[in-house]
Structure formats: C-alpha cells, structure tokens
Copies of this chain bind each other. A is one copy, B any other.
Amino acid sequence: MAFDTVQTPAGKAESVLGGSVNYFSVAASFYAPIRIVGVVGEDFPKSHLGWLSEKRIDVTGVQIVPGKTFHWVGSYDGNLNEAKTLNTSLNVFEHFNPKLQASHTDTPYVFLANIDPVLQQSVLDQVKPPKLVALDSMNFWITGKPDEVRKTLQRVDILSINEGEAFLLSGERQLMRAAQKIQAMGPSVIIIKRGEYGAALFTRNGAFLAPAFLVDRVVDPTGAGDSFAGAFMGFLAEAGASREMAAQDPARFENLLRRAVLAGCVMASFTVEDFSLHRLMRLTSDELVRRQGELLKMIQVL
C-alpha cells in the first residue's frame, strides 16, 4: 500500500494511491475474492479501504499504524518500460512484518508481492499448503539478498518477474535460457513481463508469447506489472488451477496459464491508460470482456 508521485510524458500525479497490493487486489477482484495483507499509516484514506471492501477485497489484514504510508517518487522518460526511482520513503513499511490472522491462514492462492524474501518465507510459514503460490521480486533483493531469494524460489510454483530482473537473476541474456535457469531454481512456471511488448510464459511444456494489448495512449505505466499479476492469479483462482491439476491434467493447466497471461495483459493495458488506480476503479466487466476478445483477435491465426 503506497502513495505514488509520478511524472510521465503525459503529466504528473502527486501523492496518488498506489502500491502492489492496491493494483493487484483491484485487478484480481474482477475474477475472485481477495484477502490482502499490508500496512498503511494514519494518513491513508479510510474511504479507499472502504471502497476496496465493497469489491470482494477483505482488507481486515491491513494494519493501520502510527506514522506515514510508504511513498514512492518516480518518473518515466521516453522509455515507458522502465521507471526511474527518484525517492523512496519507507515510512511505516520499514518495520512491516506480515502476521496473518487465523482466518487467513487457509488461503488457497497466495501471491507474495515484492518485499524482503525473508518476510515472503515467513508468510509461507504461516499458511496451510496452498493450491498455488506465486512470487514477485526485484533487482534490490536479487542483488541484496540472493541466498534468501533462492530459498524463497524453492518454495513457489510461479515466478512473475521483469525481463531485466530475469536476466539479472539467471545471468543469461536470452529469454529462453534465462527462464530455464530460473526453473531449475524451483518454480515450474515463469512469467517474464516485457512492458509494452507483453509477457512470456515458460512452463515444462515450452514457451507462450503474449503481446501487450495496443492502447491508444499510455498515460502512466505504474502498476501495470502488479495488475497483470492480479488478473493472472485471479483468473487461475476462478478456474480452480492447482499443482494437482498440473500433475493430473497438464494440458488443461497449460491452457489455463496461457489464458491467465492474456487476462493479465488485458488488465495491464487498462491500468496504463490513466494515473494511479483511476482506470481500474472505473473499469467495467463489459469493457474487460470486450478487450479480451480484441486481444485474442490480435493473436489469432486460422
């Protein structure tokens, strides 16, 4: 949960709502009910938590503690694929240690957003064996706590990561080789996000290459990756995908993963059309379904 101040070629947004959990949960809520765990300061608008809880998002795991909410300041230049971080104020996030309430320990689909890998492992220690566990991470942890990242990787089914991070983690510069090296570290499913070029999925059965939906105008790329992940996981949860299905009906599991990636691409394409969560907050199911059809048409060969 965060405030973001973002400058893009389209304009500037000051202290708007952001954070992985925000983007992820709103995106996922189009597909499945969500429980979120996070921390905010006393400056965080309660009205937003209220709005989230109206959308199948259980916010009882969000701690409100004295102090200020995490604040990220960043900008995008010509290259909208990569944010430049200008300032990070951890604030209440600095001492965040996720403790799950009893009613949340039985959660079938777990997404570990980007945070210290030690804390990611602690969350896994607290939950009953889930149907699927997915992980996000970033350069900061890959270089700063490589051993802990490796330990976390051994315990997850799916890794969702940027192209540059995949190269860094694997030490390989070709996508296929990078994915294979990361698979050998634990997760059988690797999703490599490629910004405006879409996403690549790697499973034991090979690669699936999904393009980004072509939007008329990218206003702000912030949250594209998190809303991608939210729609992806929400889609899998709604479809009942699981480790068990992967073993018993790999073809069905594979196809659900592919459709989940496309759902992620579509969701991300809405996110970038406006600053903050603005576009997702006014997104309708009809718009979502229509664009999913349009993206399928953009990759169809008869």
Total chain A interface residues with beta-carbon distance under 8 A: 32
Is B301 a contact of A174 with CB atoms below 8 Å? no
* Complex Cα–Cα for A206 and B298 (A): 8
Known A-B contacts A194-B197, A197-B197; the reply to A214 vs B299 at CB < 8 A is no
Known A-B contacts A206-B297, A211-B211, A297-B206; the reply to A174 vs B216 at CB < 8 A is yes
Q: Which residues of B contact A259 (CB under 8 A)?
A: 301
Is A211 a contact of B214 with CB atoms below 8 Å? no
Is B176 a contact of A214 with CB atoms below 8 Å? yes
Known A-B contacts A174-B216, A218-B174; the reply to A207 vs B258 at CB < 8 A is no
**Copies per complex?**
2
The one of B9, B173, B299 in contact with A301, judged by C-beta atoms closer than 8 angstroms, is: B299
* Complex Cα–Cα for A197 and B197 (A): 6
CB of A290 within 8 A of chain B?
no
Q: Which residues of B contact A194 (CB under 8 A)?
A: 197
Q: Which residues of B contact A208 (CB under 8 A)?
A: 298-300
Is A301 a contact of B216 with CB atoms below 8 Å? no
Q: Which residues of A258-302 have CB atoms within 8 Å of chain B's CB atoms?
A: 258-259, 262, 294, 296-302
CB of A175 within 8 A of chain B?
yes
The one of B216, B255, B299 in contact with A209, judged by C-beta atoms closer than 8 angstroms, is: B299
Q: Which residues of B contact A177 (CB under 8 A)?
A: 216
Known A-B contacts A301-B258, A301-B259; the reply to A207 vs B197 at CB < 8 A is no
Q: Which residues of B contact A197 (CB under 8 A)?
A: 194, 197-198
Is B302 a contact of A255 with CB atoms below 8 Å? yes
In the complex, the chain B residue whose C-beta lies closest to that of A179 is B214
CB of A217 within 8 A of chain B?
yes
CB of A6 to closest CB in B, whole Å: 18
CB of A215 within 8 A of chain B?
yes
In the complex, the chain B residue whose C-beta lies closest to that of A212 is B209
Q: Which residues of B contact A218 (CB under 8 A)?
A: 174
* Complex Cα–Cα for A9 and B172 (A): 13
Is B301 a contact of A215 with CB atoms below 8 Å? no
Known A-B contacts A174-B214, A194-B197; the reply to A298 vs B209 at CB < 8 A is yes
CB of A182 to closest CB in B, whole Å: 14
Q: Which residues of B contact A174 (CB under 8 A)?
A: 214-218
Given A174-B214, A208-B300, A258-B300, 15 other A-B residues pairs in contact with their CB atoms under 8 A: A174-B215, A174-B216, A174-B217, A175-B214, A197-B197, A200-B214, A206-B297, A207-B298, A208-B298, A209-B214, A209-B299, A211-B211, A258-B302, A262-B301, A299-B301
Residues on A lying within 8 angstroms of B by beta carbon are: 9, 173-177, 194, 197-198, 200, 206-209, 211, 214-218, 255, 258-259, 262, 294, 296-302
Report 9 cross-chain contacts, Cβ distance below 8 Å, ordered by A residue. Answer: A9-B173, A174-B215, A174-B218, A176-B216, A194-B197, A197-B198, A209-B211, A209-B214, A255-B302
